Structure 1
Amino acid sequence: MELLGSTFDDSMFIEARDRETVALKSYNAKVCEPQWYCVDVALDTIDSLEKQKVMKFRGDLAVRKGEHQKAFEAYRACLDWISDNNLNIRRDVLEGMARCCIKMGQKERALNLVDLLNKEASNTCHLTSLLLLKVSIYHHYGDVGAKILCLQQLCSLLPFNPWHWLDLGHTCLHLLGSDKTSDYPKDHGCELPSSEETAVLKEDTIWLKACTCFIRSRLLLRILQQQQSSFVLKRSEKALEETESALQHLNPTETTIQSLTEVMSEDLIPEKMREDYQDGESLATMCVQSFRERWWDRIVQTQTNTNM
């Protein structure tokens, strides 16, 4: 009687056929000198891909040196040589141009480039980069209301990223301790906040939102710590210290902390955290609840019930 799995297929012992050997062609690696792209060269003597590389690298080097006007011109020239199907390089160059505009004080031009990037966004990676760019612009020009709205969108898009919650919390905390009118400096050409932005700038709303964000980031950081080590773990530990210090400064009651923790921890399920909102997901099939729909309305309702 044969035991299951105790026999072997005869084919396992047949010698393998000799494989055809393919002669490898000789390959000479291209050796480039440091900053080879800075050497003066007639652009009409090289192909479009080489022109793209030269101008892109020149722009990147100028950014590192703080020469933002020079970098902008190099990036703009690079755009002419990028092929239509190379969307990643095109987006990278457009973002570089926008960040140069921020440094040069050209807010409207930077926002126009943001609009161009927005039209070409097709997945969550694109949208995340776009929102982070907008946060940089609004932070630089003191548009706190617009910055808060962008950070809320980031938290809705990537609800399990503790750093966006921490940034939103710090922005609210900073706003609580500042003169509201000074957050819109006229010399930078800032526009007055919209009605939606005005709604998020009320002091009681900002205080509650700051408490919510720090509690949410604390919950997420504690979960992530279980999978971290080395400098990554140290970064999380430092962030946790920041959240504890911020909450002590905000001084919410134990009842408030408990009610906010209950609402903000409902979706922190390991399976959900792994599967939801994966990077690179197509925007066409993605449905993201707004910050208000997902958390804020419930938080306000919970606080109202608590105070009654």
Structure 2
Amino acid sequence: MEILGSTFDDSVFSEARERVCRSLSFYNAKFCEPEWFCECTALDTDDTLEKQKVFKFRGDLAFRQGNYQRALDAYSSCLQLIADNNLTIRRDVLEGMARCCTRLGRTEQALELAELLSKEASNTCHLTSLLLLKVSIYQNHGSVGPQMSCLQQLCSLLPFNPWHWFSLGQTCLQLLDRNPKKEHTSEAVNGDSEEDQEGAAELSEDRVWLRACICFIRTRLLLRILRQQQSSFVLQRSEKALQITAEELQRLNPKEATLQTLTEVMSEDLIPEKMREDYQDGESLTSACLQSFSERWWNRAVLTGVLDTDGPQLKP
């Protein structure tokens, strides 16, 4: 009687077939001198792909050197040579052009390029890059409201990323530090939707104060969890951020009961099993675009009644 799993297939004992070794074609590696693409002869070719590389590398180098107009010109030339199906390079070049326009003070043109990128965003990585780009554009322009709106979307898209919460908390502090009479002026940028303006409009000082507390408490919770798996310079960065977070919370000066209440609310979803799940999918992409950040985070904290017993008591 055969025992389950004790039999073998006859092919296991058959002789292996002789392997036919095919000679590989000889390959010569191409050696390039440093910054070879800067030479005038680099464009002396009929190969469109080679020209595309030259302009792309020139743009990257000029941007790194701080020559943003030259970088923009190189990126623009590269864009004309990119095939329609090469979406990866196209997105990279468009983002480079937008960042050049931002540094050159051309906010409207930068936002138009960002809009082109938004039409091609098809996954979480695309949307994350787009939102980070828009944050830098609005930050450079001084538009706190739209900047806050983008950071809220980033926190909704990646709720376990402490750095987006940290940036959102810093943006809330900017609102608190501004003159209330001038708080809502010079915020509009052509192309911004009403939703983008919501970040700074119709917010009382106590609401902004509460949001700042929420963001820094959430940041502290996430960093304390993540630093257990970190080392070297990554751990040093987290430790420094924790120190800054503690200083900002001390400046915001919430009562101990408020800290405890908000900590409980902000830690409800911090379950190790849930934090290990893969959120890089289409469902999370839709959620970040449609879900109301206020309902999920801001309003939950307000419902705890914190503002009834505590309020802005900023220390200098």
Structure 2 counterparts to residues 244-283 of structure 1, below 5 A? 244-278=246-280, 281-282=281-282
Give the gaps of 5 or more residues in structure 2.
311-316
Q: Structure 2 matches for 1:76-225, cutoff 5 A?
A: 76-180=76-180, 196-199=198-201, 201-225=203-227
Deviations along 1:122-175, whole A, 9 cap, x unmatched? 111111111111110111111111111111111011101000000111121233
Give how far 1:13 is off. Answer: 3.8
Matched, 1:298 2:300: yes
SS of match in other structure, 1:137? helix
1:276/1:305 CA distance change after superposition, 3 Å: farther
Relative to structure 1, is the Cα distance of residues 180 and 233 closer, same or farther in structure 2, using a 3 angstrom cutoff?
same
Q: CA deviation at 1:27?
A: 0.3
- CA offset at residue 70 of structure 1? 0.8
Aligned residues: CA RMSD: 2.8
What letter matches 1:118 in structure 2? Answer: S
Contact 1:145-1:197 within 8 A present in 2 as well: yes
User: Structure 1 stretch 53-62 or stretch 176-185: which is displaced more?
Assistant: 176-185
User: Is 1:239 matched with 2:241?
Assistant: yes
Using the alignment, how far apart are the partners of 1:98 and 1:78 within structure 2?
14
Q: CA deviation at 1:58?
A: 0.7
> Residue 189 of structure 1: CA displacement?
8.6
Aligned-residue sequence identity (percent) comes to 64
**Equivalent residues of 1:141, 1:184 under 8 A apart:** no
User: What is the CA distance between 1:42 and its match in structure 2?
Assistant: 7.4
Please tell me the residue identity of whatever aligns with 1:293.
E
User: Residue 25 of structure 2 aligns with which residue?
Assistant: 25
1:9 to partner: Cα distance: 5.3
Q: Alpha carbons of 1:71 and 1:184: their partners in 2 closer, same or farther (altered >3 Å)?
A: farther
Distance 2:45 2:254 in 1: 68
Q: 2:122 is matched by which residue type in structure 1?
A: S
**Greater displacement, 6-15 / 253-262:** 6-15
Residue of structure 1 equivalent to 2:313 = none
CA distance in 2, matches of 1:223, 1:197: 29
Alignment check: 8 A CA contact 2:98 2:109 kept: yes
Letter in 2 for 1:176: L
- For 2:302 and 2:308, the matched residues in 1 are separated by 10
Relative to structure 2, which stretch is displaced further, 294-303 or 86-95? 294-303
User: Could you say if the C-alpha distance between residues 283 and 102 of structure 1 is closer, same or farther in structure 2, counting changes exceeding 3 Å?
Assistant: farther
Judged with a 3 Å threshold, the aligned counterparts in structure 2 of structure 1 residues 147 and 55 are, in CA distance, closer, same or farther, namely: same
CA displacement at 1:177 relative to structure 2: 2.2
1:214-272 CA distance string (max 9 Å, x none) = 11011111111121111111111111111111111111112211211111111111222
CA distance in 1, matches of 2:171, 2:35: 40
The amino acid of 2:17's aligned partner reads: R
Retained in 1: the 8 A contact 2:206–2:307? no
Moved more, 35-44 or 237-246: 35-44
Normalised to the residue count of structure 1, the TM-score between the two structures is 0.89
> CA–CA distance in 2 between the matches of 1:180 and 1:148?
17
Residue 48 of structure 1, CA deviation: 1.1
Instruction: Write the distance in 1 (CA, Å) between the matches of 2:230 and 2:5.
Output: 42
- Structure 1 unaligned blocks of 5 or more: none
Q: Using the TM superposition, give the Cα deviation of residue 117 of structure 1 relative to its aligned residue in structure 2, in angstroms.
A: 0.9
Report the counterpart of residue 60 of structure 2 in structure 1.
Answer: 60
Is the deviation greater in 269-278 or in 254-263? Answer: 269-278
Amino acid corresponding to residue 112 of structure 2 in structure 1: N
Shift of 1:193: 10
Confirm or deny: 8 A CA contact 2:36 2:42 kept in the other structure.
no
Secondary structure, counterpart of 2:40 in structure 1? coil
Give distance in 2, aligned partners of 1:126 and 1:190: 23
CA distance in 1, matches of 2:35, 2:123: 34
Give, in whole Å, the separation in 2 of the partners of 1:269 and 1:176: 32
1:205 deviates by 1.1
User: Matched residue of 1:23: which SS?
Assistant: coil
Deviates more, 1:5-14 or 1:298-307: 5-14
